[in-house]
């Protein structure tokens, strides 16, 4: 039986491995190992039999805005609710911290729409665009879809 928990510093290399697998498939953008160590407190992980099979991070962007990112589950563990557990844990943590809105940039918008997120234009997220996107290899031709969830109004699915 799997376990949801906050990441520990010794999980960084395995988180990096998971993200690299999904980045190689074009499902998310890669993150360097140093960046994972620097942001390890942002991560929730799902562990099965001593191995990480899923990960999700909540990154603070502004006083009322956070990003759900680095979100993936190994293919053989999908459709078991692991992703939903990870996302809910990150969103609940955001609520506890006083975050009002959480956004995601994704290639799978339908997954997040089922959780209550709604599509928005990336222009509505200037903090993200100028903090992170401007440094991305895909900028300004980003092909990810932006979605947002209002934690004060919307019910987390």
Residue 22 lies in a domain: yes
pLDDT single digits (tens) 17-66: 999 999 888 788 788 999 999 999 999 999 999 999 999 999 998 888 99
Residue 155 lies in a domain: no
| Tokens describing residue 87 | 């996302």
**Strands of 65-73's sheet, edge to edge?**
3-6, 43-48, 51-62, 65-73, 101-106, 145-150, 118-120
Mean pLDDT score of the chain: 87
pLDDT single digits (tens) 27-37: 887 889 999 99
Structural domain count, the chain = 1
Domain CATH number, residue 26: 3.40.630.30
Opening angle at CA 39, ends 47 and 23, nearest 5: 65
Q: Please state the φ and ψ torsions of residue 7, each to the nearest 5 degrees.
A: -70, 150
Helix, strand, coil % in the chain, rounded to nearest 5 = 40, 30, 30
**Domain containing residue 83:** 3-150
């Amino acid at each position: 039986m799997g376990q949801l928990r906050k990441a520990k510093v010794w999980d960084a290399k395995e988180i990096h491995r998971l993200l690299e697998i999904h980045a190689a498939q074009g499902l998310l953008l890669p993150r360097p190992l140093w960046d994972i160590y620097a942001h390890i407190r942002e991560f929730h992980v799902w562990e099965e039999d001593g191995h990480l099979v899923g990960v999700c991070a909540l990154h603070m962007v502004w006083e009322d805005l956070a990003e759900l990112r680095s979100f993936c589950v190994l293919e053989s563990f999908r459709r078991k609710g692991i992703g939903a557990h990870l996302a809910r844990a990150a969103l609940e943590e955001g609520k506890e911290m006083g975050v009002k809105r959480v956004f995601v940039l994704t290639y799978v918008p339908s997954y997040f729409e089922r959780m209550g997120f709604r599509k928005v234009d990336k222009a509505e997220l200037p903090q993200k665009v100028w903090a992170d996107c401007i440094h991305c290899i895909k900028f300004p031709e980003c092909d990810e879809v932006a979605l947002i969830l209002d934690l004060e109004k919307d019910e987390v699915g």
